[in-house]
Each structure stands twice: as structure tokens, then as C-alpha cells.
Structure 1
């Protein structure tokens, strides 16, 4: 059935960004003109288009001085399908960070690299260097398909993992922008040598008849206006949730037969985590099961889903523009029916899958072909040298000496692979000399499973700290757990400086989302496997109140958990009402502060008690429950304020 695609612009007035894209001549102007100007920054229209080229204009807020121009700088983000970083590219990025950036690299939670601190005058050189060294930044940001993720584990004896890598690369190629603007602006029209596209991908990009292709366009899949918002894709294997598959716009799950041969893919769609505080119409959402597709039809199905979002996604309100809102508004059945129109035939039912679990692939492991791989934990994804901790030096030396390829992980770690057994000692000696732990069992578990976004000082969206704050937050959490007899406990903690959710806090067992300076919204109840959404427990927690806030929750967890139950599963099972009721009446033991009589016995611990009228007590309890705070806190605050007013 031939279907003509509706206009990409909705009947409602499109947002300003839609007009910028329309006038840009496929991402060329005004970037092409302004990159030649001797200025420190771009204007607003160019900033929006610059994202498609892989860069965000930022300023270092630590350096803001009233009355002076902002300290403008640029973040560059690479696009690395399935996290692949060839040795040549890694060395180029390491050198660029030293010469033009802030001397660090940041592994992203989408398996790419970010480089911060680049000045406008050096931006063209930096992008050109990346492209000439087998990399790209095209489409790492912007309203189009972002980096396609896949499990980073290099298991050569498990064909499903190899298929995941292959199809992540092919879908990245299929959905890559076709405009010549990128090479015209950053390489003066010279198209760098890159890996050959699969013939099936080339054919699929042009194949039409059902409305997926926009004819006579420089962008046959995207058209003049590209996508309504960013579009995130991953490919994984049954049981492997290292990619946070439920948080993606589109997830393909490799399905093989008993001989390990690829047969097709299960398809999820409609996940997404970005939201806005105090805007109930924005929300985090898990992806839905959509269908199964045979391998020969997978590219046409991907195009059909992209075309559905391209043509029916909301282009008037960017807060409502992601695929998750379209599916939420329509329902899965209507969405599936529309996808079938673009696909040209009915889709097959979703096939059963095993339970998904999280893995991080750290430490030394066999890759199945006689060689080894090594997963190295990178705290908060920041590759840097600091004191005796010389991670950046270690990674560079390993690549220089052994020419090893890298896979970046969705948990912002690094994997070296294809390591010959006789090279293990060389790698280990470099790590030991540079103070890098290779045994994941020696890493504090709270740190190992935590993630934080960069936030301040460079991210323009950050409300408060994240990467710089989370080490101290984790220390406080560990001290609280130890204090309350939970020494062996750990759980998934994630933190972001704003509600956009780049470190995926809404999937965490304990999530912190920046809501005000030095304050966070707290989310509880995600699962250790990241297969269930957390829920907001309190809207605003100042970091100074962290311990008094968490202690009663941890005490309740210890008292009422089931055998082997994780913290996130406990919070989900008992529910927030039960947690609030316990914390509202929780009274920690406090030391007696009155003068102690001299005695050979240890001083007893006592609580200072006061009596309240029943009416006051019930009102206090209700207030404490609604605010998610212990009654003791409210009483202390109220009395402190009252006593300060006394003469």
C-alpha cells in the first residue's frame, strides 16, 4: 500500500527551532558563516544547529564575572556506534583534550566521548582532527538519531553479541544525516575515508513505496525539518540490560536460533527519561513491547518507526516532542497500526524473552577466542590525571604500546579488548604504576554502580551540582549504611543536576535530580536491573539534610526487608505511604547532653521527650507524612524559629 507522508510540520504553530532548521539549508547556515567570524561565540540560531554537528556552546559558570563577557567554550561529543573507539581515534582525542580542551575526556552514558573547554577558534580544527582519525561528531546531538548503543562485551564465542555490534553500526549508518554541510564546514568539503556502508543499508535508505522516504531531498529519511526531537536507539541481546533498554526510543533485541544464527529482532519503543520540574505533562516513561521483525525487514521497520515519529511527533511543543509522548497519547495499538502503514505490511507478535539483568563487564575476562578483555571502572566517566591517580596517562600508554581497540560502556566505563594473553602483564604493570584498580571487587560497590552527569560548571541546563557532588554524597550514604548495620549493602545511585536525566536517575534505586541550588528531588524504587521506573519521593532535599532524611528509610529497610531483597525492590514493595509513616514516627537515639554524674558505668543513652496535645500531635504527624520528614525535624525547626523571636 502506497502512502503519502503528511507534512512534517503539525497544524499548530511550530516551535522556533523548527523554523531555524527549515531556513538552515540542511544544517549549513548560519554555522558556516559564523565559524569564519572572529568572535568567541555563536548566536542563538547557530547554537541550535551546532548541536547537529556534535557540539554544545557552553560557558564556565565558575568563571562568570558580573559585567564581563561569559567564559564561552564548547563541548564536543563523538558518535561511536556500540561504543567502538579505534586506537588511532583515542590517541587523537587524548591529544586534543590536552592541547585545546580542559585536559580531560568524559565517557558518556551513550558510549561516546565528550571533550570540554574548546574555544570557538579551535572548534574547526578539533572536529577535522576527529574525522581524519576515523571518528565523527555528526549527529551526536540534535534532533535526529543519536549514538546507537549496544552491549560493550566483546564475546567472540557468543554470536548474538557480534550481531548487536553489527546492527548498531548499520542502523547508525542508515539514520546518519546525508547533508554535505558537515564536511563542507569542518573539512572544507573533503569527505574523509570511512568504513564502507553495508549494501543493504544503502538500498534500505532509498527504498520507498510506503511513505518513509521524502523524495528529491538531500535528507531522504529526515527531510527539511529532521526529527521533532532527539531519537535514541539501542541494540541488545536477550537478558542483557547493560544498555538501559527501557529508556530508549527504539530498542532491538537480537533473536537467534539454536545454532546461533540471526533470525530477527524483538522491538521495544517509547522509552525516554527527560522531564521538566512542575510540568506534570512531562514524565519519564518505559519502552513498550511493539512487535517482532525478521532480519530481512529490520531496516524497513526502523524507517517506519522513524517516519511515524517524524510525521506525527509534536513539533509545536519541544517538551512534548519525544516518541514516548506520541505512544503515550495514541496507545500502543494505534502506534503499531500507523507503523504498519509505513512498513507496508503487518508486523509479527513480540516473542518471549528471559528476564533482563544489568552487567558492567569490569575486570579481566575471557572473550571466547583465546584472547582477553579488561573492563576498567571510570568514576563518573571522567578520564583524568589527579595526584597518584593517573587514569588518562594509563589509557594513553596502553593504546600507544599495544594498539588496542576500545569499547566505551553505557555505564561510562572503558573496555580494552583483543588482548593477547602475553600482553596482560604489560597492561597490568601500567595500571599498577598509575594507581588504577583492575579488580572490580576492590572498588567500593556504591561507587561502582553509581552514575552522575557533568552538570556544573559547564552544562547550561544544570540547576545544581552532580559530578562534583556525588563522591561526597556516596561517602555519606556509606557511613549511614555502616552506622545502621548495613555494611554489606549497596544499590544503584544516580544523580543529575537537572531533570533531563542524562545519567538516567529515574531508573535508579536511589536517584537524585537537581531541583534548586544545593537541593535535589529524590526518587526511590527503581530495580537493580534497571527494568522498573523509580518514583519521586520528595521534591526538594537540601544536601545538608541528606543524613537525617535517609537514616529512617535505611532503618526501616533493615527492619522490614525480605531475605535478599534489594533496597529498590523494598521501596517498591512496601510503598511510599509505609515509608512515610515509619519515618514520621522515627526517633533516633540521641546522647544525653546534661551534665553526667561521675560513675564507673558508661553513661546511658536517653531521648528528650515532650508531651503534645492529641490534636497537635495528629496535625504534626500529618505534616511530617506529607513532607516526607521525621516529626522531630519539624518540631526542632518550629521551636528554633519560635525561640529566636524571644527577647
Structure 2
């Protein structure tokens, strides 16, 4: 294939994928090389398709460089959980892996996945085997393929929850790469490709997609997976307890690049309604169009959102209709009320209880007198609930019987987790990992946001806003992993200790925010937000959210065209 392609015209990653022999690369050789704690440069791209990122400790970088040592390398492993639900045994296995092979913590991601940090190269293969022992996997958790399929984990007001979860799982299976490389490298197994034609990758081919692809299912009135930020979003339409089908939104995506005006966040466009039995074929056709039409020259412009904007939405829709052989029906009516989670105890229509737990920064760990990790392990050992990862880095304990609620409450109390007094803004906060391990981060996020929230809560309390829910999200760079561009208050790391401040997203997750102040330190952030909180407290309309307020009061103007977005 390489003989017929001018690789100079394409991004370097395209060559690496093509020459990887369907994601084998030289990973076996890299893993066997004991002269370095890293893997080969090309294999760092291929390993992402296997759910692995090579990282290094940026806190020790200068010192190690001064001592002429290579960086302190370790690896991130991301575990797919389509729909976000695992059972107690799987939770216990994740807990054990974190203690045996990682840094002792578990990160819950904004795509309802598990992440392990600090895994050494020699522990990669044992970790992968342990993950698969739990009937979970990491393939396609990263890389230029469809990634973990999200689905709302909240069943409170819906009778079709189980159907949507099942469909999310089936779609995830359908779009999972077929290469046997994963099984051969990590599990020492031989596996024949699934396709009856004998093709290794009948859907993706040898070069896979131009860039990552994200799919999510939401069940109104919840938008807790931020459906409009997905490349492909399915909005369940329920009528009298029956799942009629889905409104479909295409072209969402958060990632941007500082200084590149051709990059911008974009919310998906609803292009119509489809019946439930058409979902998998519809998704496949969208993926195939993106594979064929997406930008393989410039990765910064390779997501579906740019493909759609380059062609024009109507032209793209017509290409899709031609491929499908039918036209989607008109969009059905629906209502979204929040893109955040609900906390505390809730009784669902299935007559089971569900407990929403706020997990700051998505980090499962023991800290001081708050023994979160120990408490969840103790609950898992009772086998009285399942564990549901949310798209906001939180956790829901589910399928709990009435008589087991007391046991769970007592465990949480014994481990210092109850009672809690947490502000509405803090419970609606998200922070990406950022420093010290993410190579893309310009500034702190997960390690810093809690202390910033402490200071913001002083103002919120002063103006009677401590219980008010305000969506706040912080990322260490503009790539958008924490979906900051739909937050009511968004912080984007610009440099050490400095952030761009964005305002005006809404509580439903249906509006982009806009740059309000640039390159601010903590003092400037507090000086800017304090008078806004006071104004909001004194002059908001009844039921008006903070994001809607700052738009109405002209602090920022709404973004009607994503290309108007500014860094």
C-alpha cells in the first residue's frame, strides 16, 4: 500500500498506522526491551489503539534531565466500559489492579471509562491480562477508532433504560476493531479475524479512521453524557414507556488548538429521527463516510465536525442519505433539563434504589479521613449493588434493595464520607488529569481545581449561592477532554498558573461558552467572578441558571456559529 501513497502529503500517523500490520507494530519488541522504560516512538501511536498512553512525570523532568537520566516513564491504561456499568466483581478487580500494578488510585473518566496511572512497562502485560480476566478490555479505548460508547447511567425517570444500555453495548461491539493484534500481544492468544471475507478489518481497513470518533446515548430529560459534544449522538425518544427510536445529532466535538483559528469546538446538529432497528447501520454509515472523507493530512482538522463543515451540513446529509438508502424522519420533540448528575438516594421505576456519589476529579482514593476507596471496596464485597460510571466523573451505586440502603449508609459514614456538605458548584465540577502526567497540559487541573473551588465557595456562600448548581469545568489545555466549552464557567489552562475564563454555556449542555477573560492567574479569576456571583444573586430571574444569566446581562454574547469561537 505504501508504494501507492505519497506519505509526505499525509500526517505521520497515517504512515505509522499503515505500516503497523493492523496494530501489531513492534509492540512485542518494545515491551521486551529492558534498556529503557519507554516504548519505541512509532509504537507510542499504535499503543493508543490498545488503550495505552506512554507518559512521564513532568514534576521530575528537569531534575532527571540535569542528572542525565531518561524521563520517569510510566503508562496510562484506559478500560472501556460501554454504558458505564460494571458489577461488584469487576469493581473489585479494578481495585486490585490499581493497587498491584498502578499508583493505587482509579480515575473515572468523562467517557465512563476506568483509567490506571503510573503503570510501569513491565506491569503492562499483567495489567492487561487482569483487566480481561474481569471480562473487560482496553482495545479502542484510545486511537483513531470509535471509542467507548457512552450511555446515561441514570434510570430514574425512564422505562427504556435497559434497552438503551443494551443497544450501546451492541453498537460498541459492532464498531470494535477486529484485528487479532490485541489478543496476540497482551493475552498470548491466537484469534482469527471476525469477517467471513477474510479481511482483518472489514470496517476500518489498514489505516483506520483519520481521528478519534465518539458516540453517546442519552435519555431525556438527562443530558449527562453531553450528547451534542459527541461525533454521533443518539437522543432516546420514549412514549408511554416505549422506546420509539432516536433523534440523531452529528458533528459534535470539543478539541481546539491555541493559535489555530481553523480549530474550534462544535455542537452536533440534529438531522432527524430513526427507528431503533436502524441505529447500528446508521452509525456504521457515518463512520464509513468519515473514514473516506475525513482529513488525513492535518490531524488538528480531522474530526467529523470539520468534515461536515468543509462539505456543508446539507451536502453531508445527502451523502449519508445516499449511503443509507433512506431519509431520516423529522426530529421528534424532547426536553433536556441538565447535563450534570443527581446525587443522593433515588428510587427508580424499576423499584430499585440508586445512590449518586460525587467523586472529586473522578479520582478514587483514600485521603485524610475520607476513605473513599476503602468504602467502595467494602460495598463491592457485599455484592448488593452494581457500579455506574457517569460522564461527569462521578459514581452511581445501583440496583440496591430497600433493606440494603442502611448497610451502605453505615459503610460510607464509617469511612468519613457521610455526612457531607458540598457546594452545588463543586458537585457540578469536572477536571481533567493535566499535570503531572499529561504531556499536552499547559497548566494544572485535577490537582488545582479543588483548592480554587475552596476560594470560590467563599464568594458563593457570601452571596447565598452555596447550594446553587453551577457547571464548572477545568482542563489543562484546549483539547477539551473535560468538555469545558459547554460549561457555564470554563477554565482552560494557558500556562503555569494561568487560565482563560469562558462563560455562557448552559445547564442543559446545548450552548457553547465564550471567552470572557484571557490568561488569568488565581487572583484575577477571583476578582472577575466575585462581582458576577453578587450580580447573579441579586438580579437573576426566578429559576434562571448562571449561564443564562450572564448571556441575558450581556457579560458575553452567545456563540451562534462555532467558527466565531475565540481562544
SS at match of 1:477: helix
Q: Which residue of 2 aligns with 1:34?
A: 30
Please state if 1:24 is matched with 2:20. Answer: yes
Shift of 1:216: 5.2
SS at match of 1:62: coil
Whether contact under 8 Å (2:50, 2:142) holds in the other structure is yes
- The counterpart of 2:480, out of the listed 501, 515, 523, is 501
SS at match of 1:103: coil
Please state if 1:388 is matched with 2:369. Answer: yes
In 1, the alpha carbon distance for the partners of 2:244 and 2:236 equals 8
Q: Which residue of 2 aligns with 1:162?
A: 162
Please state if 1:242 is matched with 2:224. Answer: yes
In 2, the alpha carbon distance for the partners of 1:449 and 1:320 equals 30
Structure 2 unmatched ranges of 5 or more: 559-567
- The counterpart of 1:524, out of the listed 503, 513, 526, is 503
> For 1:557-587, what per-residue CA distance to the aligned partner results, in whole angstroms no more than 9, with x for missing partners?
44543343222111122324699xxxxxxxx
In 2, the alpha carbon distance for the partners of 1:235 and 1:577 equals 31
Whether contact under 8 Å (2:385, 2:397) holds in the other structure is yes
After TM superposition, the structure 1 stretch with the greater mean CA deviation from structure 2, 33-42 or 135-144, is 33-42
In 2, the alpha carbon distance for the partners of 1:349 and 1:436 equals 47
Paired residues, number: 549
Shift of 1:422: 2.0
TM-score of the superposition, structure 2-length normalised?
0.92
Shift of 1:406: 1.1
Q: Give runs of aligned pairs for residues 552-631 of structure 1, distance below 5 A.
A: 552-558=531-537, 560-576=539-555
- The counterpart of 1:61, out of the listed 48, 58, 61, is 58
Q: Which residue of 2 aligns with 1:549?
A: 528
Whether contact under 8 Å (2:423, 2:468) holds in the other structure is no
Shift of 1:431: 0.7
Q: Which residue of 2 aligns with 1:491?
A: 470
Please state if 1:293 is matched with 2:274. Answer: yes
CA change 1:10–1:78 in 2 (3 A) is farther
Q: Give runs of aligned pairs for residues 212-227 of structure 1, distance below 5 A.
A: 217-227=199-209
> For 1:605-630, what per-residue CA distance to the aligned partner results, in whole angstroms no more than 9, with x for missing partners?
xxxxxxxxxxxxxxxxxxxxxxxxxx
In 2, the alpha carbon distance for the partners of 1:531 and 1:103 equals 37
CA change 1:172–1:370 in 2 (3 A) is same
SS at match of 2:168: helix
CA change 1:310–1:10 in 2 (3 A) is farther
In 2, the alpha carbon distance for the partners of 1:531 and 1:301 equals 23
> For 1:461-481, what per-residue CA distance to the aligned partner results, in whole angstroms no more than 9, with x for missing partners?
111100111111112212223
Q: Which residue of 2 aligns with 1:445?
A: 424
Shift of 1:113: 0.7
CA change 1:332–1:474 in 2 (3 A) is same
In 2, the alpha carbon distance for the partners of 1:223 and 1:83 equals 28
In 2, the alpha carbon distance for the partners of 1:554 and 1:296 equals 47
Please state if 1:43 is matched with 2:34. Answer: no
After TM superposition, the structure 1 stretch with the greater mean CA deviation from structure 2, 474-483 or 451-460, is 474-483
Q: Which residue of 1 aligns with 2:81?
A: 80
Shift of 1:234: 0.6
Please state if 1:123 is matched with 2:162. Answer: no
Whether contact under 8 Å (1:255, 1:264) holds in the other structure is yes
- The counterpart of 1:421, out of the listed 390, 402, 418, is 402
> For 1:533-576, what per-residue CA distance to the aligned partner results, in whole angstroms no more than 9, with x for missing partners?
11111221112322222233334444543343222111122324
Shift of 1:293: 1.5
> For 1:214-254, what per-residue CA distance to the aligned partner results, in whole angstroms no more than 9, with x for missing partners?
x7531111111111111000112232211111110001122
> For 1:247-269, what per-residue CA distance to the aligned partner results, in whole angstroms no more than 9, with x for missing partners?
100011223443x3333221101
Whether contact under 8 Å (1:10, 1:314) holds in the other structure is no
RMSD: 2.3
Whether contact under 8 Å (1:21, 1:225) holds in the other structure is yes
Please state if 1:534 is matched with 2:513. Answer: yes
CA change 1:473–1:20 in 2 (3 A) is same
In 2, the alpha carbon distance for the partners of 1:323 and 1:262 equals 28
> For 1:369-421, what per-residue CA distance to the aligned partner results, in whole angstroms no more than 9, with x for missing partners?
33322221111111001121100000011111225321111111111222222
SS at match of 2:9: coil
Shift of 1:489: 4.1
In 1, the alpha carbon distance for the partners of 2:319 and 2:81 equals 31
SS at match of 1:159: coil
Please state if 1:430 is matched with 2:411. Answer: yes
In 2, the alpha carbon distance for the partners of 1:473 and 1:88 equals 36
In 2, the alpha carbon distance for the partners of 1:34 and 1:331 equals 43
Q: Which residue of 1 aligns with 2:213?
A: 231
Whether contact under 8 Å (1:9, 1:311) holds in the other structure is no
Q: Give runs of aligned pairs for residues 99-498 of structure 1, distance below 5 A.
A: 99-155=100-156, 158-189=158-189, 217-258=199-240, 260-402=241-383, 404-437=385-418, 442-484=421-463, 486=465, 489-498=468-477
CA change 1:256–1:446 in 2 (3 A) is closer
Shift of 1:36: 2.1
Shift of 1:292: 1.6
CA change 1:264–1:62 in 2 (3 A) is same
SS at match of 1:406: strand
Structure 1 unmatched ranges of 5 or more: 1-7, 193-201, 207-214, 580-647
After TM superposition, the structure 1 stretch with the greater mean CA deviation from structure 2, 367-376 or 36-45, is 367-376
Whether contact under 8 Å (1:163, 1:254) holds in the other structure is no
Whether contact under 8 Å (1:21, 1:224) holds in the other structure is yes
Rg (Cα) greater in structure: 1
TM-score of the superposition, structure 1-length normalised?
0.81
Shift of 1:50: 0.4
Q: Which residue of 1 aligns with 2:71?
A: 70
In 2, the alpha carbon distance for the partners of 1:486 and 1:398 equals 33
SS at match of 2:76: strand
In 2, the alpha carbon distance for the partners of 1:332 and 1:173 equals 28
Q: Which residue of 1 aligns with 2:563?
A: none
